[in-house]
C-alpha cells in the first residue's frame, strides 16, 4: 500500500534552510516500486544537498557516492515508523512532524544538537 502524505505539506531542510522544492529525482542507489525516478523534496540551497522523501527521510545527495545515511538523531514517528519531516524552521530549533495524514506526532529538535 502506498503511504499517504499530509496534503499540501512542504518539508523544510533539516539544516535550517527553509522550505524545500518538489523535484523529480533519479538516484542510482535507490529504486522504489521499480521506478527509477520519483518525487522528492530538495533544499533550495544547492550547496546543502539535502533531500527528503516520504519513504527515506532526510539524506544528503552527493555527486560521487550517492546518498548519505541518516543522522542518529533524526526523529521518527514511533507509531508509523516514518522519518519525520521539518514542518517549521524556528530560530534555534526545528519542529518535526510525522509526514502521514492524520497523525499528530511532533518533536522539536535544537539546531545545535544536530550533526553538521
Please report where in the chains the cell 527521510 appears, as a residue: 57
Q: What is the CA radius of gyration of the chain?
A: 13
Taking the complex as a whole, how short is the minimal distance between the CB of residue 111 and Zn ion, in angstroms? 12
6 binds Zn ion (CB under 5 A): no
60 binds Zn ion (CB under 5 A): no
Q: Which is nearer to Zn ion, 80 or 114 (CB)?
A: 80
Task: Name the β-bridge partners of 60.
Answer: 50
Choose the stretch contacting Zn ion; rule: CB under 5 A; options: 29-37, 58-66, 85-93, 98-106: 98-106
Choose the stretch contacting Zn ion; rule: CB under 5 A; options: 21-29, 32-40, 45-53, 58-66: 45-53
Taking the complex as a whole, how short is the minimal distance between the CB of residue 103 and Zn ion, in angstroms? 3
Residues contacting 70, CB < 8 A, separation 6+: 57, 58, 59, 83
Q: How far apart are alpha carbons 67 and 89 in whole angstroms?
A: 23
Amino acid at each position: 500500500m502506498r503511504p499517504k502524505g499530509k496534503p499540501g505539506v512542504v518539508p523544510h531542510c533539516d539544516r535550517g534552510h527553509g522550505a524545500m522544492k518538489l523535484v523529480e529525482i533519479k538516484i542510482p542507489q535507490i529504486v522504489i516500486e521499480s521506478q527509477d525516478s520519483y518525487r522528492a523534496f530538495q533544499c533550495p540551497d544547492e550547496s546543502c544537498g539535502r533531500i527528503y522523501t516520504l519513504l527515506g527521510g532526510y539524506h544528503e545527495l552527493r555527486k560521487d557516492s550517492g546518498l548519505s545515511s541518516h543522522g542518529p538523531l533524526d526523529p521518527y514517528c514511533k507509531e508509523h515508523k516514518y522519518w519525520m519531516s521539518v514542518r517549521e524552521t524556528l530560530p534555534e530549533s526545528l519542529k518535526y512532524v510525522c509526514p502521514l495524514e492524520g497523525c499528530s506526532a511532533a518533536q522539536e529538535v535544537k539546531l545545535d544538537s544536530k550533526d553538521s
